[in-house]
Amino acid sequence: MVSKLTKLDAEFHPLLTLDGRRLYTQFVRSLLVRSILLLFAVASAWAQSGDQPEQAVVQDLEHSSQVLGGKHGYRVFLPPAYATSQARYPVIYWFHGYEQAADVNAYTRQIAAYVGTHDAIVVNSGPVETTGVFPLYFPELVDRIDGTLRTIMDRDHRAVSGYLAGGFFALLIAGKYPDLVSSASSFLGPTEYSVGPNGFDVDYNLEDFYGNYDGVRTRLVTETGHFLDFYHRRLNAVWSVARNGHEAEIFDSTEPTPELAKTFDFHLHEFERPSPKPAVFNHADVYPNFTVWGWEVTSARRRPGVTVLEDVSDTGFRSAVREWIPGGATLPEVKLSIASAAIFAPGSSHMVTYLRLRDGYARRAPVRADAQGRLNFELDGDQYQVGISAAPLIAVTGYEIADAAWATAGQPLKLLIKFSNVGAGPSRPMDIRWECADKSVKFDVWTGGLAGLAPGESASVPVNITGTDPARAFLRFAAIAGATRSVVGVPLFPHADATKVFQIADGATVEVMRRAVATADVTFGEGNHDGHAAPGESFAVLVPDGEMLRAAELFTNDACVDNTVRGSDDWSDYDHSGASVKYSLPRIRKDCEPGHVIHFLARVLVPHAPDHRTRYLAIDVPVWWRPGEEPK
């Protein structure tokens, strides 16, 4: 083929005669040079015309941080037009931990490429720490960035994101400061870490803090077969139904930040349609002092715990300080000061009702707004419903599961919804309406009747619910009483098979599985070690796993049981997830009569990384005789 083409070329091109081959060589060289020059010229023209992708302007900066007590660095990615325009830009805060260099290089290239073609600033901060003062640094960083760069200085145009530990931190920050950000995302972030002040941090599981994200849209990016896949699925199962505005996407990828541009597009889209400030919000915080949505909370708590605010609005709120959420013991010895947002007329007087939910004790007192328009409340860590109204004011203050010890997904559910009048005037009888966004959920009747209530008085209204998905982890619906709309959330559990194969450890030391796959001798509860649960004793339920035993987490609504104490087994060394497995240490109340049978749901996590197995078992524990009263 080559010789035939050469012959044809020789016939038609005189330069290719034997005498002209030298000329031909010179001609080809000249042609190649001209072609290369032409390619360079075209490439230069493309670059000058903007067809060549532009890169962000990257700057490494630092400032003196009062929160951190020293110099702290951060990196900013600026759009190419930043220096020549007067435009203001939204900001995505990117958090990182101690990742490998290859991962850092990968997401840095992606961030730079994205900012090079989008009107947004990205600020890279870290390495993050989840305990101590670092979680308190974000507001200061925001002030620094807003004060030195041309940003759009409102929460509607501010987002947080991150990778691995930085991903967890981004969701943590969005929940702690929902008034500062409108959206948050996590790339492969763990769902649990220790969080809080040094010395009294707590196990912070994002599943339990779903209520913190009122007004914030979130996105979780995961990978098929990732070592955190089990925890990601469990978080999505709760957040997708327990709150509004959560989405997740699973990629079949091994990249550290798969399709980062797609998630950054999510944030830019949220900047265009930010969620409004919630009219009613919830917040739980492991730090004793905090500010959220203009409300300020301070306390002298110097032990692990969580301060909980629920259903907060201009008509009142519910508060408590707990050892853990959702069901930890309250800490009534903690003194709690709460200042409302500046939403009242300065100097105006308001009648306030304080209803202690533990025993129904109510007191009323006028409170005058300060010069800023704030109302100030002095409470303790017990659970209170606080109403701000001289007229009647109806609030949902709790619920009970009737005819069952727990709520099973896919099964009919009967609830007794408790309503309380936390206003200063008597209420009239009224209809209660039920609403649920999930149209598959059905109520036996869509309205219920609530009798008139005196100030401080409470009453329950029954509601029967069907149609829940057997795979559903949470039920969320609204109870509407007059102008008040209260959201009720109920955890749901899968079907559980009954078993009699378990042990009671009431003060006994038993060899059990610890740290997922190791063993250790552990003393559980307080009692006489006889393997029975007697009044006044606390205990653990141990379930067989092959030839060994695992301590179970227990659920029940039985009034004979104080189920507010739990233990924790750290699995970090096993699956590197930062997660822990909880087990319960219930106590039988002293006035519980022997012979009473307590129905428990036992949940046991069996290690099988990355897809752990969760076992649910229904067990019955008879209340034994008190020491010295055993039958002969």
Number of domains the chain contains: 5
Q: How confident is the model at residue 158 (pLDDT cuts 50, 70, 90)?
A: very high
Strand ranges (E), 467-506: 474-481, 484-491, 497-498, 503-505
Question: Is 85 domain-assigned?
Answer: yes
Question: Is 108 domain-assigned?
Answer: yes
Q: What is the CATH number of the domain that holds 104?
A: 3.40.50.1820
- Cβ of 326: how many Cβ atoms within 10 Å? 14
Diameter of the chain by CA atoms?
127
Q: Residue 16: pLDDT above 90?
A: no
268 and 346 co-located in one domain? no
How far is residue 520 from each of residues 504, 512, 549, measured CA to CA in Å? 17, 6, 11
Q: How confident is the model at residue 470 (pLDDT cuts 50, 70, 90)?
A: very high
Across the range 520-527, mean pLDDT stands at 96
118 and 247 co-located in one domain? yes
Which secondary structure element, helix H or strand E, spans residue 57, and what is its range?
strand 57-65
Q: Residue 131: pLDDT above 90?
A: yes
Q: What is the CATH number of the domain that holds 431?
A: 2.60.40.10
194 and 78 co-located in one domain? yes
pLDDT value for 52: 59
Positive or negative torsion for Cα 204, 210, 211, 216: positive
Domain final residue, candidates 491, 526, 558: 491
CA–CA–CA angle 238, 487, 345 (5° rounding): 125
Q: Residue 22: pLDDT above 50?
A: no
Q: How confident is the model at residue 257 (pLDDT cuts 50, 70, 90)?
A: confident
Q: Residue 5: pLDDT above 60?
A: no
Q: Residue 8: pLDDT above 70?
A: no
Residue for token digits 């379930």?
A: 543
According to DSSP, residue 605 is labeled E
Question: Is 440 domain-assigned?
Answer: yes
Across the range 604-630, mean pLDDT stands at 91
Across the range 57-64, mean pLDDT stands at 97
Q: Residue 545: pLDDT above 60?
A: yes
Question: Is 575 domain-assigned?
Answer: yes
pLDDT value for 632: 67
Cα separation, 570 vs 520, in Å, equals: 13
Domain final residue, candidates 211, 240, 272: 272
User: What share of the chain in percent tops pLDDT 70?
Assistant: 91
263 and 139 co-located in one domain? yes
Q: Residue 1: pLDDT above 70?
A: no
Domain final residue, candidates 272, 306, 327: 272
SS3 for 12? Answer: helix
Cα separation, 376 vs 379, in Å, equals: 10
309 and 430 co-located in one domain? no
- Domain membership of residue 337 as a residue range: 281-388
466 and 507 co-located in one domain? no
pLDDT value for 448: 82
Q: Residue 31: pLDDT above 70?
A: no
Take residue 339 and report the two structure tokens written for it: 């200042």
Question: Is 627 domain-assigned?
Answer: no
- Cβ of 233: how many Cβ atoms within 10 Å? 13
When the pLDDT of each residue in the chain is averaged and rounded to a whole number, the result is: 90
pLDDT tens across 342-399, in order?
Answer: 999 999 999 999 999 999 999 999 999 999 999 999 999 999 999 999 999 999 999 9
CA–CA–CA angle 522, 525, 530 (5° rounding): 95
Cα dihedral 447/452/458/464 (nearest 10): -20
pLDDT value for 351: 98
- Cβ of 156: how many Cβ atoms within 10 Å? 18
Q: Residue 558: pLDDT above 60?
A: yes
Question: Is 631 domain-assigned?
Answer: no
pLDDT tens across 438-461, in order?
Answer: 888 999 887 889 999 999 999 999
329 and 309 co-located in one domain? yes
582 and 528 co-located in one domain? yes
Q: DSSP letters of 71-130?
A: EEEEEEEE-TTTTT----B-EEEEE--S--HHHHHHHHHHHHHHHHTSS-EEEEE----S
- Type of residue numbered 295: W
183-187 vs 158-162, strand pairing mode:
parallel
Q: Residue 605: pLDDT above 50?
A: yes
- Cβ of 69: how many Cβ atoms within 10 Å? 9
100 and 198 co-located in one domain? yes
pLDDT value for 18: 31
Q: Residue 40: pLDDT above 60?
A: no
Q: How confident is the model at residue 51 (pLDDT cuts 50, 70, 90)?
A: low
Cβ-in-10-Å burial (0-12, 13-18, 19+) of 300 comes to: exposed
Question: Is 376 domain-assigned?
Answer: yes
Q: How confident is the model at residue 298 (pLDDT cuts 50, 70, 90)?
A: very high
pLDDT value for 7: 29
Which secondary structure element, helix H or strand E, spans residue 336, and what is its range?
strand 331-339
515 and 595 co-located in one domain? yes
Question: Is 632 domain-assigned?
Answer: no
Residue for token digits 């007191």?
A: 363
Q: How confident is the model at residue 628 (pLDDT cuts 50, 70, 90)?
A: confident
How far is residue 19 from each of residues 9, 12, 537, measured CA to CA in Å? 14, 15, 111
457 and 573 co-located in one domain? no
Q: How confident is the model at residue 429 (pLDDT cuts 50, 70, 90)?
A: very high
Across the range 23-29, mean pLDDT stands at 32
Cα dihedral 626/629/630/632 (nearest 10): 180
Q: Which residues contact 433 (CB under 8 A, 6 or more apart)?
A: 446, 447, 479, 480
CA–CA–CA angle 127, 251, 227 (5° rounding): 60
| 260-272 vs 101-116: helix crossing angle, rounded to 10 | 40
Q: Residue 205: pLDDT above 60?
A: yes
pLDDT value for 468: 81
* Rg (alpha carbons) of the chain, rounded to whole number: 31
Indicate the range of 48-52, 259-263, 292-296 predicted with least confidence. 48-52
71 and 136 co-located in one domain? yes
- The pTM (predicted TM-score) of the whole model is 0.89
